[in-house]
């Protein structure tokens, strides 16, 4: 049973005041796309009392979600689906006809990086827009949540206008998502802001209708920024570009610290006390990955080039480059700590997901490093608590272990590349008994280095020369 402390106020807690009751009256919502964004959004909207139909072209995915079995790992999602299932407010289907009569249509499809290029592939966005257009009325509102290039919203609206019934005025708001994997439910129910990109004569009515969708969160004090389409389209990519830049900045400092004998964790702590900078996203390590930051900074650069503004975002090329160099550094470290070469070295890779509390392996630093080591002749074994099925799918050439102990058996080097709690709290004394050589690379600055060195390990953390006295960093934002 979900608690209010976990997921906030449910529909049963509606206030007694008549105006508040009207503002919170449940709406009929359609969610197009049931991937990571769409499935979480649909479940949360149903939890807050709306009647939701979620559509996906993948019948297997829709069936799994309807049965309460998410096809990906997100903490709390399975429990949330179980909570809303008895209410009858949430339906998963492949049939767009079931969206007829919806008040609001959310477009929650992916925008992956284009094959052979850096630009975002908006194929799924336009396909979703074309699919919902026949079911629109002048009273319904389409809300785009996907991360898209500048200019997409207006083009999507025109696409729908050409396909909607002749008498319909197509209404569109661009409302970017800001979910973090691992805390997506919290971010949906208690976001740090809403952004509405509006345009045209129905803008005020569009704002009012979307306010009704988010009434619970707005009543809890979530700020709302109303702007134009272009600005709304830029918000997510600009935010991710800033975060990626901050991570690559501290990783550039790590390169200097390693060479000059400094400690990047202490450096980050010191500069993080400056309130203009802050400590978050100053966690040096193997860098960022996943389905957002790498893709978004590349797509942002590509769109800027198309607009003749490539120089404005040229710095993102170096941000990306620094991020890739940290992966190369781990590959080099394995050789350095193994007598100068990779051939025949047994390496335990702890982690496959790009971050803990997720099974997402898209652009995973851990898998990238594992593959590079294997290509150089190392014998690699990988273990991750949640991401093994996805890892085996995208990197079937690698060897996978049953658990952490199996991965580390007879290893010459252990590399912690995803900071799962079970890796952070592993017993260095017990683990020393199963490896061939007690050598560990702390790729996330997540381990208590002094405890590992006291247990007889050769310990190396990225960006820290004085490994023996190292303490783990407090955050895990890289």
What's the whole-number mean pLDDT along residues 305-323?
A: 97
- Looking at the chain, the whole-number percentage of residues with pLDDT higher than 90 is 91
350-402 pLDDT, tens digit each: 999 999 999 999 999 999 999 999 999 999 999 999 999 999 999 999 999 99
d(CA 461, CA 281): 17
Largest CA distance in the chain: 76
Q: What are the helix (H) ranges across 8-151? A: 18-23, 36-47, 59-66, 77-84, 123-132
Q: With a cut of 80, say whether residue 209 has pLDDT above it.
A: yes
Question: What count of Cα atoms within 13 Å lies in the side-chain half-sphere of residue 176?
Answer: 31
Q: With a cut of 80, say whether residue 159 has pLDDT above it.
A: yes
Q: What is the CA radius of gyration of the chain?
A: 24
pLDDT at 51: 98
**Which residues are designated catalytic?**
292
Residue 478 banded pLDDT, cuts 50, 70, 90: very low
Strands annotated E in 338-438: 346-350, 379-383, 399-400, 413-416
CA angle 394, 396, 398 (to 5 degrees): 115
Residue 25 banded pLDDT, cuts 50, 70, 90: confident
pLDDT at 21: 59
pLDDT at 19: 53
CA 338 to chain centre: 34
**Which of 131, 120, 121, 50 is CA-nearest to residue 95?**
131
241-284 pLDDT, tens digit each: 999 999 999 999 999 999 999 999 999 999 999 999 999 999 99
Residue 105 near residue 141, CB atoms below 8 Å: yes
Mean pLDDT of the chain, nearest integer: 93
Question: What count of Cα atoms within 13 Å lies in the side-chain half-sphere of residue 449?
Answer: 23
For residue 151, the 8-state DSSP code is T
Q: How far is CA 184 from CA 36, 94, 141, 442, 443, in A?
A: 9, 24, 24, 27, 25
């Amino acid at each position: 049973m979900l608690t209010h402390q976990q997921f906030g106020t449910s529909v049963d807690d509606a206030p007694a005041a008549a105006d508040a009751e009207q503002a919170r009256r449940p709406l009929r919502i359609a969610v197009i796309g049931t991937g990571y964004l769409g499935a979480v959004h649909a479940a949360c909207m149903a939890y807050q009392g709306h009647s939701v139909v979620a559509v996906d072209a993948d019948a297997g995915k829709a069936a799994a979600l309807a049965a309460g079995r998410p096809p990906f790992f997100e903490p709390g999602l399975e429990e949330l689906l179980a909570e809303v299932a008895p209410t009858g407010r949430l339906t998963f289907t492949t049939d767009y006809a079931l969206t007829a009569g919806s008040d609001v249509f959310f477009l929650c499809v992916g925008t992956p990086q284009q094959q052979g290029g850096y630009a975002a592939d908006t194929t799924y966005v336009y396909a979703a827009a074309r699919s919902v257009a026949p079911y629109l009325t002048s009273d319904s509102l389409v809300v785009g949540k996907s991360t898209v290039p500048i200019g997409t919203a207006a083009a999507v609206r025109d696409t729908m206008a050409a396909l909607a019934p002749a008498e319909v005025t197509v209404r569109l708001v661009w409302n970017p998502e800001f979910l973090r994997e691992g805390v997506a439910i919290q971010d949906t129910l208690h976001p740090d802001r809403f952004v509405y990109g509006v345009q045209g004569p129905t803008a005020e009515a569009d704002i009012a209708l979307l306010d009704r969708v988010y009434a619970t969160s707005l009543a809890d004090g979530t700020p709302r920024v109303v702007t134009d389409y272009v600005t709304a389209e830029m918000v997510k990519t600009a935010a991710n570009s800033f975060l990626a830049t901050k991570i690559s900045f501290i990783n550039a400092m790590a390169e200097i610290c390693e060479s000059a004998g400094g400690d990047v964790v202490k450096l980050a702590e010191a500069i993080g006390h400056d309130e203009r900078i802050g400590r978050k996203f100053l966690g040096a390590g193997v860098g960022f990955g996943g389905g957002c930051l790498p893709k978004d900074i590349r797509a942002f650069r590509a769109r800027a080039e198309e607009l003749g503004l490539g120089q404005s975002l040229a710095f993102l090329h170096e941000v990306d480059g620094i991020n890739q160099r940290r992966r190369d550094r781990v590959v080099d470290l394995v050789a350095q700590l193994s007598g100068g070469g990779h051939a025949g070295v047994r390496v335990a890779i702890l982690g496959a997901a790009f971050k803990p509390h997720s099974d997402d392996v898209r652009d995973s630093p851990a898998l990238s490093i594992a593959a590079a080591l294997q290509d150089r002749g190392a014998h690699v074994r990988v273990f991750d608590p949640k991401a093994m099925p996805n890892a085996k799918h995208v990197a079937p050439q690698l060897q996978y272990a049953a658990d952490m102990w199996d991965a580390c058996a007879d290893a010459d080097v252990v590399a912690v590349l995803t900071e799962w709690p079970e890796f952070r709290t592993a017993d260095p004394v017990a683990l020393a008994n199963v490896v061939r050589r007690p050598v560990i690379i702390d790729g996330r600055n997540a381990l208590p280095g002094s405890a590992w060195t006291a247990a007889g390990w050769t310990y190396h953390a990225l960006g820290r020369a004085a490994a023996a006295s190292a303490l783990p960093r407090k955050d895990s934002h890289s």
